[in-house]
Structure 1
């Protein structure tokens, strides 16, 4: 019997991650053998931890907060979407010693939005945050042709740097991004808001747009067994269509798994039915 393919996820915190369950279900579906571990690291130790993982037989790793931008600096080769994002959520070993960095976050979010009927095209969109998670999803959101995009970050310069990066890389729609430091300064009803900050992780309020359109939707990249803090904020604000990031997590994981293991993309509907049987 062949040895299992060694995979894992780097993060801090990482104990809460359901990625091992998701990938184990993918492997079960495809009758494949994997070993998928949670790997806690610190920013100072992260490069050494990644090198050690691949040196000791690791084939692929996911990367979550707060290491996505740092992971982009470690990869020997970046895919085009990882270059545009400036952040990496998927590392894979190719040949002897080469590590490729990819970003499946945007693809995962778009697939989940489509499955939920959350429309972006022609609508006003607010993206909260300008870190690694925002970098991963913004190009994909722009590709869906929103009418207007507000990029909101407390440190305005960080959001401006992200916009300049996307403009320089000729990302679709990047010139139309409007950078603001606070969402409640936006003076129009908003159709859609995506939270790419860690506010729900720390259970803190984040400023919301001053008003929402009647059919507005909100999405939190964070996920939880119960409603996330951000989704509770949206509920109080009267936003009826809300979702956390579990669907995105499963979809981006399917993309990562396919990159590592080849073959067809795993069935994400099956995995969601296992993780949220009362919803699906």
Structure 2
């Protein structure tokens, strides 16, 4: 086991609750791999304490942190400097503290999603992508897809949310939820950003009968690792991309900011984190 000293670099993940987070597993895996004097810890933080905790971490010498539900918007408000991605999201999931006392923030979810697809040799430029859902995850995914040159269409059970997302992004098309199955044949990539099919959620049956043989199907859900959507796609012989890789890739920027090394996502890391999902 890698031992830490008084010189250790420390980062954390903040959420409420936080027990579900796999971030400590993957970051500490990288710390061990690179023999870095450091640690990454989970912190359960209530909403009313969040701003004080961030200031306390900065004062205590933490290098930064990840934030998860329900703190992403509050974290944005704590930042002194945010990039264009964060501005478009109105939230951040990664913070780092610099020596000048500034708090920097960004949202890495969308970039993690795109990197996961590229790992699977999926090209996105000029591809027609249908996104299921219009929540925070859909916003991150849609923005990253647009930045990579994809053409996006959004469908959501509540049409108004899809319309608002397209307005906010300044790009994209909308189709009604009841229509997406029949219109699937016109798309190159299908993305599920909803909780449909997530373990413990409602049992939604995905109908891919109208999909073209070249459709790529991906799901940001990673518990279960092979979701009902991915199972349906596999039965039809379609190319699939699971959601675990998005989790792993979105973590890379934060790790490089806090610990000074740009880590890689490989089979060893993927299987290590995947095995934890079975417990």
Is the 1:85–1:135 contact (alpha carbons within 8 Å) kept by the matching residues of 2?
A: yes
Aligned to 1:182: 177
TM-score, normalising length from structure 2?
0.81
Is the 1:108–1:255 contact (alpha carbons within 8 Å) kept by the matching residues of 2?
A: no
Aligned to 2:30: 26
**Aligned pairs (5 A) from 1:206-217:** 211-217=210-216
TM-score, normalising length from structure 1?
0.80
Aligned to 2:242: 244
Matched position secondary structure for 1:117? coil
Aligned to 1:267: 264
Is the 2:68–2:93 contact (alpha carbons within 8 Å) kept by the matching residues of 1?
A: yes
Is the 1:105–1:252 contact (alpha carbons within 8 Å) kept by the matching residues of 2?
A: yes
**Aligned pairs (5 A) from 1:39-54:** 39-54=43-58
Aligned to 1:170: none
**Aligned pairs (5 A) from 1:1-280:** 1-95=5-99, 97-146=101-150, 148-167=151-170, 174=171, 177-182=172-177, 184-185=179-180, 187-189=183-185, 190-199=187-196, 200=198, 202-205=200-203, 211-224=210-223, 226-232=225-231, 234=233, 238=236, 240-263=238-261, 265-269=262-266, 270-275=268-273
Mapped partners of 1:70, 1:130: distance in 2: 20
* Structure 1 residue 209, shift from structure 2 partner: 7.1
Structure 1 residue runs of 5 or longer lacking an equivalent are 168-173
Mapped partners of 1:267, 1:115: distance in 2: 11
Relative to structure 1, the CA distance from residue 224 to residue 25 in structure 2 (aligned partners, 3 Å threshold; closer, same or farther) is same
* Structure 1 residue 62, shift from structure 2 partner: 1.2
Would you say how many aligned residue pairs link Structure 1 and Structure 2?
Answer: 266
Post-superposition Cα deviations, 1:120-156, rounded to whole Å, max 9, x if no partner, equal 333321112233222222222113323x421223333
Mapped partners of 1:73, 1:18: distance in 2: 25
RMSD of aligned alpha carbons: 2.9
Is the 2:31–2:39 contact (alpha carbons within 8 Å) kept by the matching residues of 1?
A: no
* Structure 1 residue 181, shift from structure 2 partner: 4.7
* Structure 1 residue 55, shift from structure 2 partner: 3.9
More off after superposition, 128-137 vs 206-215 = 206-215
Relative to structure 1, the CA distance from residue 125 to residue 197 in structure 2 (aligned partners, 3 Å threshold; closer, same or farther) is same
* Structure 1 residue 233, shift from structure 2 partner: 5.4
Mapped partners of 1:246, 1:216: distance in 2: 20
Mapped partners of 1:99, 1:225: distance in 2: 35
